[in-house]
Amino acid sequence: MGDPVPTVKFLGLTFNIANDISVIVTCLIVFLFVFLLSRHLTMKPKGGQNVLEWLIEFTNGIVKGSIKGNEASNFGLYAFTLFLFIFIANQLGLFIHVQVGQYTYLKSPTADPIVTLTLSFMTVALAHAAGVRKKGMGGYLKEYTQPFAVFSVVNVFEQFTDFLTLGLRLFGNIFAGEMLLTKVADLAKSNGWLSYVYSFPIELLWQGFSVFIGSIQAFVFVTLTSVYISQKVNDEE
């Protein structure tokens, strides 16, 4: 959100403590969410089990919409986990923002490009690994010469742009939403109690809109993930 964050240097590397804490908290929330909903599973689902099964079917539907045949089943769990992580990460900073002194310790991890580009790198790396596994190294490399060998440079560059756009799209949307919330909060403090009166409905409205945007961005990220993987594993028709 543009706030200063604490850092620690270890073995020549600089670690962003706010990112580390935010990612760990997000992972814990995802784990607890799935753990609690998966207790006492029955053949006739009800309550939390219904929610969990709906989410699994939802993400499986995204995967099957792009990846054909039995290959889709190999990526269902990844899509489910990715969707939950990004969804929770996008919403975290909207409801919990921990700041001690001048440093921020807890925020939306996806409001930092390092986190979103890491998620993007995971997806692109998985797609390429799946392509090599499915088609072999020769078949995988041959795709870069399609439709003609002269397009090899363009095809390689496209892989890099896919990586950048996937990560930066998510970062830009979440960062912009949280920055605007920060500005509205500053506005509320600008003119005493009167500013709270007119800034509160604005913040409430934008926070609701940010929840919607965060949900859409989780869906878009998983959808594009499935598309990128499908480009590597689907057989050409």
Distance CA 101, CA 109 (A): 20
pLDDT of residue 135: 86
Phi, psi of 197 (to 5 degrees): -65, -50
Q: Which CA distances in Å does 90 have to 41, 81, 137, 166?
A: 29, 14, 37, 15
Tens-binned pLDDT, residue by residue, of the chain (237 aa): 457 777 888 888 888 899 999 999 999 999 999 999 888 877 777 778 889 999 999 999 999 999 988 888 899 999 999 999 999 999 998 888 787 878 888 889 999 999 999 999 999 999 999 989 988 888 888 888 877 777 788 888 888 898 999 999 999 999 888 887 777 766 666 666 666 676 777 777 878 888 899 999 999 999 999 999 998 887 765
- What pLDDT does 209 receive? 84
By CB atoms closer than 10 A (0-12, 13-18, 19+), residue 8 is: exposed
Residues 6+ apart with CB under 8 A from 191: none
What pTM was computed for the model?
0.87
Q: Check residue 181 and give its pLDDT.
A: 75
Backbone torsions φ then ψ of 125, nearest 5 degrees: -65, -40
**Quick one: which of 154, 146, 135, 127 has its CA closest to 227?**
127
pLDDT of residue 237: 54
Q: What is the pLDDT of residue 16?
A: 85
Q: What is the dihedral of CA 45, 223, 219, 111, to 10 degrees?
A: 130
Token pair 């949900």: residue: 215
Residue 29 has which token pair? 């929330």
CB-based burial of residue 103 (10 Å sphere; 0-12 exposed, 13-18 middle, 19+ buried)?
A: middle
**62 CB neighbour count, 10 Å cutoff:** 22
- Note the Cα 106 to chain centre separation in Å: 17
d(CA 184, CA 195): 10
